[in-house]
Structure 1
Amino acid sequence: MNFRLRAVRALVLLAGFYLMGVVLLAVMAVLDWLLVTRLLTARAAWLEGMVLAVTVLLAVAIVRGMFVFLRAGRLGPVPHAVAVTSQDQPELWEQVRAAAKEIGERPPDELYLVAEVNAGVAEQSRLLGLLPGRRRMLLGLPLLAGVTVPQLRAVFAHEFGHYANLDTRLGGVTMRGRTAVLHTVDVFSQGSTPLHHTIGALYLGYARMFLRTSQSVARHQERAADQVAARHAGRDATAAALRALPVLESAHTHYLQTYAEIGKPLGALPPVGEVHGGFLRLLAARQGERLAALAAGQRPPRPHPYDSHPPTAERIALIEKLPGDERADGSPDAPPALTLLRDPGRVFTALEARTLPAEATRLRRMSWDDLVMARAVVDAEGWSRPLQLAVARALRSEAQGTDETAPARRGAPAQKDDAGLPGLEEVLDAFDRGLLWMAVADRIPKPPQAARLVGLSARNFIRPKVFDGLAGMVHLRLAEAGHAAPDIAWSGRPGLALPEEWEKAMDDALDAAVADTPDTTPLRTLLASTDRVSP
């Protein structure tokens, strides 16, 4: 079956999605008429009223769904974005308009910058796109930060390419229809009554059939837009843009989780403009393979069964089969796309103000170094606390002459454990007296499944927790003494920079301290060497 036949079939099913509401309303009207006029007697007036009430509720749900379906293409407000006019950013608008003109399409009427690695053009469609309307472009600021100008032109050409293929115009209607179908089903799924869910189940079943049928059309649209981009922006630039997108998405996810949210446990934020602007620092520190390594360390998202995009590798392979050209590619020597923005710092600050929730405005701002240091201290306290509590309970048990191997009694008052937690030397002394594997390990929290382990298996399970607890106490000691400095480590992970002798020998010393036969001498030697050095 060729593309046009598939598009026509999908279009017929799309019309059926709307007509299903009309049919359901007609069927309910006929059933009500039969019940009232033929089946129910005058004595069953209460039943007649119940049937009519249920019918009205169902009809309201269906009509609402039909209304939502027709309005799915409307352009609503964009609360988490920064509107950009041609007066604000003339160079960026010039690139957008040039790409639209090159392809023979209307440029967007509005341009918004968003905090995503993405770009898209939406239209105020009428009749699911059969009648043209106002256009809006959403452009991710992190995308601008990570691609070059030639790659950005390829992205623009791809987006306008969705509207430019005359032979796939029906496919464009189908694409907008897929959005309308998903939006309608989502409205039904959010209904608060069983009747909404009942009608929603009917629409959901039909929607699945439509999405399966139209998926090939949607993917054909993506491949066609890729061809338009390669033809107008260059084969190499288009392929480079496709390679860059998943890498940037992984890097941006890593940045948000590791850096932008680093102050979350502290109730603090990075400096003004750096919540999103800090991503530039990560990109500057990680380039090429080091940037791509972030994607290798993350589990790729599971593809949606009805995803309209073909696999990226497949799209790149098709583009690379095209003849080469002499246009600029996406090499690192090309100018960064962010150079198209005037005063990028101001733009990052404006986007931050639009994306942060209202309560975030009351949070304190801290420098990156202060954030790293404060977060490292909080993390170290979290690592060390279970070990300190376990040692405190073991020492108390030893002093009272009770069974040292008995786990702490459940429900014991927390304030007794919190008071007078042992310091690093006390913990090491307890290890030297043989309490680690006799009493301390059993008092460190563990899941019920691990509680049944015995012998070497039990030790190997709990050993990393003891190691982390001891490492946390060491970090706290070094930080309090001024021997540890914050390390933002844009090319790695933020944490503490320790003295050189600690960086070389700390892991070996900790391993010795948590061995089956604990030896705290290497760790004590390191502590003594540091204590002799004034901060």
Structure 2
Amino acid sequence: MGLRLRVLRAFVLLAGFFLMGFVLLAAMGVLDWLLVTRVFVDRAAWAAATLVTGTLVVALAILQGMFAFLRAGRLETEPHAVAAGADDQPELWDLVRAAAEAMGERPPDELYLTADVNAAVAEQSRLLGLLPGRRRMYLGLPLLTGLTVPQLRGVLAHEFGHYAHLDTRLGGIIMRGRAAVLHTVDVFGRNDTYFHRAVGLLYVTYAHLFLRSSQAAGREQERAADRTAARHAGRDATAAALRALPVLDAAHDHYLTAYAAMGEPLGALPRRGEVYGGFRRMVDARSPDGIAELSSGRRPPRPHRYDSHPPIAERVAAVEALPDDGRAAELDDTRSALTLVRRGEEVFTALEACTLPVEAAQLPRLGWDDLVMARAVIDAEEWARPLRVAVARAVRAEEAGTEGGAPAGPVDSDALPGLEEVLDAFDRGLLWREIAERMPKHHQAARLTGASARNFIRPRVFDGLAGLVHLRLVQAGQAAPDVAWSGRPGLALPEEWEKGMDDALDAAVADTPDSAPLRALLAGTGSASAAGPALRTG
């Protein structure tokens, strides 16, 4: 079946989706009339009232769904984006208008900056999209951070390709219809009454049929927009922008986890403007290969069966298969698209204000160095605590003359052993005789014995000992925060510790523990009470 026939079939199904509501309302009106005038005439009035009430509830659900369908194309006030006026962002608007002019399209009426690695367009729905209306464009600040100016031209040309509807105007109606159908089904899904579920099942079944029919049209619309972008912005720039999307998406996910959410255990956030703005620091600090490494080994998301977008790899291959247009030199412009945004700090701060929950926005703010140091201390305490508790219990059992199987009992957090006490316990042979038995482990691992048991628990003892070392170095003022935009945030340790720490820890947790290498390193750290950040122990 050709694209035009697929679009026509989808359009008929879209009209049927809306008309189905009228048919159901008419059917229930007839049913109510028969119940009241023919079936229950003057008898069993309570039964008639019950059934009529039930049909009225269903009718209300249908009207709710139809109203949701009509509203789906409207442009509501955007609460989760920063409006970018032409006077505020003239350079960005110049590029948008240039793309619109090249495409023979009118520019958007509104431009918004979002917190997503994405670009999108919307248009005011009029007669289900049959008449043109007010246009809105969305550009993600993380997307601008990772794209060059030529690549952004390719993205803009692609988005204006959606406005142009190069294949057929009905294709645009179907794409708007997909959003309306999904919105209508969602209305029924949010209501859990029996009548809503019954009518919702009918709508969901019909929606599946419509979405299957419109999927092919939607994918062809994306391919057409890609071809349009290649024609107006250049084949190579368009392909480069498409290739960058999954890479940037993975890099942004890494940034949000490793940096923006770093203060979650502390109940703190980066300084204002840095929750999203820090991403540009990470991108600037890494080479393109370094950014790409963040997506290596990452499986592409499984395509949804109703996804209107073809897989990125397929789209890139289709664009690269187009004839060479001789515009490869345009990629020599390596300016970040973010340079087109004026007063970036203010924009990033405004984006936080309209996207972060109120309770999150009220959290204390820390600079990156303070945030890294505080998080490093929290992590070190978390690593060390299971080992310290196990050592405390083992020492208590040793003093009481009991074996490892004795009840553990509570341990006073203020009396947990320090690093030297832990090493003393290791030196007395308690590690594999008593301490390892008291380390937390999965119930299946508890069945292990001998070398298997030691090899299972050894990494946990290693981590606990490393946590104690980090705490000691922080207390002694010999560890500094390392934001490490090109790697992972953590602590920068003295050179001798960077070189010898792992070997010393390995020796301390060996089958025959040897604490001498670690004690030799500790001898140069100074007093544990040296000035340094306050630590919470236990």
Going from structure 1 to structure 2, the CA distance change for 1:42 and 1:443 (only over 3 Å counts) comes to farther
* Pairing 1:40-439 to 2, within 5 Å after superposition: 40=40, 42-296=42-296, 298-327=298-327, 331=331, 333-406=333-406, 408=408, 412-413=409-410, 416-439=411-434
Q: Percent identity?
A: 69
Q: Which residue of 1 aligns with 2:492?
A: 497
Q: Is the 8 A contact 1:84 1:111 kept in 2?
A: yes
1:466–1:514 Cα contact (<8 Å) kept: yes
Mapped to 1, the partners of 2:319 and 2:117 lie a distance apart of: 21
Question: Do residues 4 (structure 1) and 12 (structure 2) align?
Answer: no
Structure 1: how far apart are the matches of 2:259 and 2:332? 25
Corresponding position: 1:37 with 2:37: yes
What displacement does 1:330 show? 6.4
Structure 2 counterpart of 1:378, one-letter code: I
Runs of 4+ in 1 over 4 A off after TM superposition: 532-535
Question: Separation in 1 of the partners of 2:191 and 2:483?
Answer: 46
450, 453, 467: which one aligns with 1:455: 450
Which amino acid counterpart does residue 18 of structure 1 have in structure 2?
A: F
CA contact under 8 A between 1:162 and 1:225: conserved in structure 2?
yes
**Post-superposition shift, 1:109?**
0.5
Report the TM-score, using the length of structure 2 for normalisation.
0.94
Q: Tell me whether 1:470 sits opposite 2:465 in the alignment.
A: yes
Shift of 1:331: 3.4
User: Partners in 2 of 1:523 and 1:42 — Cα distance?
Assistant: 96
Output the CA distance in 1 between the equivalents of 2:284 and 2:509: 40
Work out whether residues 237 and 329 of structure 1, in 8 Å CA contact, stay in contact via their aligned partners in 2.
no
- Range with greater deviation from structure 2 (38-47 or 471-480): 38-47
Give the superposition deviation at 1:121. 0.9
User: What SS is found at the alignment partner of 1:113?
Assistant: strand
The 3-state SS of whatever aligns with 1:111 is: strand
Q: Deviations over 1:372-429 (max 9, x none)?
A: 0010000100111111111111111221222223452xxx44xx43230001111111
Tell me how far 1:453 sits from its aligned partner. Answer: 2.9
Confirm or deny: 8 A CA contact 1:168 1:221 kept in the other structure: no
Q: Is the 8 A contact 1:82 1:354 kept in 2?
A: yes
Structure 2 residue identity aligned to 1:214: S
Q: Tell me the matched-pair count.
A: 530
Q: CA deviation at 1:197?
A: 2.2
Paired letter, 1:251: A
1:522 to 517, 526, 529: 517
Given the alignment of the two structures, is residue 440 of structure 1 paired with residue 435 of structure 2, yes or no?
Answer: yes
Give the C-alpha shift of residue 328 in structure 1: 5.5
Q: Is the 8 A contact 2:167 2:224 kept in 1?
A: no
Q: Distance in 2 between matches of 1:524 and 1:101?
A: 71
CA distance in 2, matches of 1:289, 1:191: 48
How far 1:450 sits from its partner (Å)? Answer: 2.5
User: In structure 1, what is the Cα distance between the partners aligned to 2:199 and 2:526?
Assistant: 73
CA-CA distance at 1:455 after TM superposition: 3.0
Cα offset for 1:347? 1.7
Q: Deviation digits for residues 168-190 of structure 1, max 9, x if unmatched?
A: 22111111111111111111111
Distance (Å, rounded) in 2 between the aligned partners of 1:174 and 1:505: 64
Unaligned runs of 5+ in 2: 532-538
Deviation (angstroms), 1:298 = 4.0
Give the conservation status (yes or no) of the 8 Å contact 2:165–2:171: no
Q: CA deviation at 1:329?
A: 5.5
Pair 1:181–1:237, CA change in 2 (3 A): same
Q: Which residue of 1 aligns with 2:505?
A: 510
TM superposition shift of 1:465: 1.4
Structure 1 residue runs of 5 or longer lacking an equivalent are none
Deviation readout 1:176-217 (Å, 9 max, x if unpaired): 111111111111111142322222222112111211121111
Q: CA RMSD in A?
A: 1.9
Match in the other structure for 1:18: 18
* Separation (CA, whole Å) in 2 of partners of 1:330 and 1:265: 46
Q: Quote how far apart the aligned CAs of 1:45 are.
A: 1.2
Alpha-carbon spacing, 1:293–1:89, altered in 2? closer, same or farther (3 Å) = same
